[in-house]
Amino acid sequence: MDAYWTIINGIIYLLAFGLIGWVLLDASKVTKRMKR
Amino acid sequence: MTESPGLVKSLRPYHVWALGVGIVLVGEYMGWNFTIAKGGVLGSLLAMLVAGTMYVMISLCASELGSATKLAGGPYDWARLFIGPGAAASVGLAVYMEYIALEAADAIVVAFIAQEIWPDLQVFPVTLLVIATLTFINYRGVVAALTLNFFMTAIAFLAIIVFFFSGTFGVFEMNPERLFQGAVPNGLIGLFAALQFGPWFFLGIEGAAMCAEECKHPSRAVPLGQQAGMITLLVGAAMTLFVCTMLLDSGVPAEGLGVSVYPLFEAAQASGVYILIALLALGTLLTCLSSANGCVCDSSRSWFALSRDHFVSPWFSTVHPKYQTPYRAVIFTMPIAIAFAFSGYLDQVITFSIVSGLLCYVLIPFSLIRFRKLFPMNISNVRPFISPLQPWIAWFAMAIAIVIMSTLFWGYKYNLLFALAFYLIAYFYFHNRHKKHIKHFDWSKEMGWPNPSHHDIKE
């Protein structure tokens, strides 16, 4: 049961960091495009 | 370098309503009930009425200022025009901090609710996921974010109405005698102390005006959305207070309603009706999410306005070419909200938000007083809407805001002093920094107004 919840908490972390990563990646792309 | 586009003008009055009520309704699901612990049922009623009076007066001041200036920054722009750069930066920062602290608090509460359902779930990853998801939605576009807010807020408000009318039509039994049980448990001092939690019923409604620049017809959408929001909140506050005090014990010493974390949900549990319990649980969750969502929108716009006027780095004032959102300002809300959430001190974070809000409520009426002095009605024809009984209403609203702020001394002395010191430092820092760039403000060029004869406002 503990392992099950560790995996779920891990997935939530992954989702959160995935969203943060997507936003930061898109923002850096836009900034590069604007500099050109 | 490619030029940054402007913000998209796509919002309608119901989006403004959703932004304003979405942020505030959470205060009717939780938090307002601490007035019961301090001042009993009568203290809570008094706090609701005093705070409601203050908000109605402030909205009258805001209507006159807003209809005259027609600027998107709301309180920040009024302070910039009529008080000066130090006050403008303090108000901009106060709005930013008010909403960002509230966003963090909402995210923590969502995580606590999730943990209550699944005890093995950790609070921090859920908090992080809520903040990241809402930042993502706001990054992608304001229309989608506020349409989502509209549906979440409407469901949460409908849940209060259904709950209230279920009680009045006899679906469950209410206990009217509880209205008089512990009505004034701590005497007059309790009534006074209860005022500090009164703003919970309405805190943040002024944020509805922050999306003015993104409205299709701001002169119609903002007053309509904001006034409809104020009516919604007054109705919701009265229903919540009535139904919760009849269902939950508010005895002495403070117990039951006075210390409840989710008073409306616990009142639904006390009713024993399964559908209502599920509805109010859903309402509690949705109202936290909609509040946090609105807070991301408002705090990013405040930071964007500060950046555009060079109070903070102009790097933040760039607009996304595809989504037409202030994307750097939106992203910047994330680390600050996570830092607040990571602290874990929910009540401290919320108190900082309340002090920031009250500072704005002092400076909005003060802006109106300065505006009336600079542009007296008998010689300046610059206002389409004239608020009644001014400047007395403005002075009275300021007095109420200061009284409510002073009541925070009971229990939150250090938070109050820290927050006031923070804004005082910000005031002098920005005042001195912008003194270097002082120039004569050209009212006719900037606003299309005649220059006031005795004007001394510098920019």
B273 CB-near residues (< 8 Å, 6+ apart): B166, B171, B172
ipTM of the complex: 0.95
- Nearest residue on chain B to A29, alpha-carbon basis: B320
CA angle B334, B356, B446 (to 5 degrees): 90
Residue B113 and residue B120: Cα distance in Å, rounded?
Answer: 12
Q: What is the pLDDT of residue A11?
A: 95
Question: Which pLDDT does position B286 carry in this prediction?
Answer: 92
CB B37 within 8 A of CB B254: yes
Q: What distance in Å separates residue B74's CA from the closest CA in chain A?
A: 28
Which one of A7, A30, A36 makes the best mutation probe of the B interface by having the most chain B beta carbons within 10 Å?
A30
Residues B213, B7 contacting (CB under 8 angstroms): yes
pTM over the 0.80 mark: yes
Domains of chain B and any CATH numbers: 14-377+398-434 (1.20.1740.10)
The SS3 call for residue B232 is helix
Residue B11 pairs in a beta bridge with B215
Give the per-residue pLDDT at B459.
41
Question: CA B27 → CA B81, B415, B430, distances in Å?
Answer: 32, 20, 32
| Cβ contact, residue pair A30, B136, below 8 Å | no
Chain A nearest-CA residue for B315? A31
Q: A5 vs B334: CB contact, 8 Å cut-off?
A: no
Predicted confidence pLDDT, tens digits, chain B (459 residues): 444 556 677 778 888 888 888 888 888 888 888 888 888 888 889 999 999 999 888 888 887 887 777 666 678 888 888 888 888 888 888 888 888 888 888 898 888 888 888 888 998 999 999 999 999 999 998 888 888 888 999 999 999 999 999 988 888 888 887 777 767 777 788 888 888 888 888 887 877 777 777 777 777 777 788 788 888 898 999 999 989 888 887 665 556 777 777 888 888 988 888 999 999 999 999 999 998 988 898 888 888 888 888 888 888 888 888 888 889 999 999 999 998 888 766 677 777 878 888 998 999 999 999 988 888 876 666 777 777 888 899 999 999 999 999 988 877 888 889 888 988 998 888 888 777 655 567 777 777 777 776 555 444
Please tell me the distance from the alpha carbon of residue B418 to that of residue B378, in angstroms, as a whole number: 43
pLDDT at B221: 77
- Per-residue confidence (pLDDT) for residue B139, from 0 to 100: 92
